[in-house]
A = this chain, B = another copy of it.
Amino acid sequence: MAVKAETLEWKRRSVVIVALTVLTSSQGILIAWTKRAGFYKYSVTTANFLVELLKCVISLVALFRVWQNEGVTEDNKLNTTFDEVKVYPIPAMLYLVKNLLQYYIFIYVDAPSYQVLKNLNIISTGVLYWLFLSRRLSNIQWCAFLLLALGCTTAQLNPSSEHVFQTHMEGWTMAIIMALLSGFAGVYTEAIMKKRPSRNINVQNFWLYIFGVVFNFGAMVVQDFNAITERGFFHGYTMSTFIMIINHALSGIAVSLVMKFADNIVKVYSTSVAMLFTALLSMGLFGFRLTLPFCLGTMIVSVAVYLHSQGKAT
């Protein structure tokens, strides 16, 4: 029986990991596709708002099906206490602050340097995971995690990457703050999802996303009120915009599932591998050239994934 439960857990973990990797890869491809087609004529804030709303709706639909099958129980009822829900707005708030900073960082950091500095996310997630969540990484797994960051950075190297040496202290500080914000958001989400393991994931997701809806509604009104009232909510939307919104919503739910049934470390590995898949697919689809740093980086990331799995055994 214990073995069966373990197999089930392992299967569930694998499914959510594969889902996250596939969704994140296709997300990259969709972004590359819309960029090439020269889109981006819609208000980004309306799309973000719709993503959060769609995640909420999907969680509710899934919850209704659970109620139909299992009936309403203590673990799957939607009502909550202030004590349970008080930490739920924090990840949404952290992401909002990070997204706001995203607009300002480009004053201090150019795009190629930002691509390099973004990999600080991996390091910050590892450090915060180690500081705030109870599970520990072995020495080998720490090496693997460092190699993951180094491999991802190597894979994205291009001649302009050298600009990072011209980045001033302000740029570095902002990049580190942004990495810490997204690291904290991840660690918070995992802590929330795992605090009550028996609590139904759809209820947890609903409360997580509803704050995302509220915050993104605020951002939308503040930033794009005029554009929306003058040109309409859906101005500039095309089929690809809707596909991207659906993809983002599903990716977001996959992240929640990974946080509940796996952890932040797994999330970082999945999204890093997805980044490499995206690049490979882009080569096939859009004729991007294969570069030597990309090949080296991919091999380094592969070794990191293998070392992470080997590190567990010891």
Q: Write the residues of chain A forming the contact surface with B, with a CB cutoff of 8 angstroms.
A: 116, 139-140, 143, 146-147, 150, 153-154, 157, 159, 161-162, 164-165, 290-293, 296, 299-300, 303, 306-307, 310, 314
Contacts and interface: CB of A to CB of B under 8 A. Distances in A.
Nearest to A293: B157
B292 A146 contact: no
A126 to B, nearest CB: 14
In the complex this chain forms, how many copies of it are found? 2
Closest 6 interchain pairs by CB?
A143-B303, A161-B292, A159-B159, A154-B296, A150-B300, A150-B296
A300 B146 CA distance: 9
Given A150-B300, A162-B292, 8 more contacts: A140-B140, A143-B306, A143-B310, A147-B147, A150-B296, A150-B299, A150-B303, A154-B293
B290 A293 contact: no
6 contacts: A140-B140, A140-B307, A147-B147, A147-B300, A150-B300, A150-B303
A167 to B, nearest CB: 11
A134 B116 CA distance: 43
Contacts of A310: 139-140, 143
A290 B146 contact: no
A113 to B, nearest CB: 10
A291 B162 contact: yes
Contacts of A290: 165
A293 B154 CA distance: 7
A307 B142 CA distance: 11
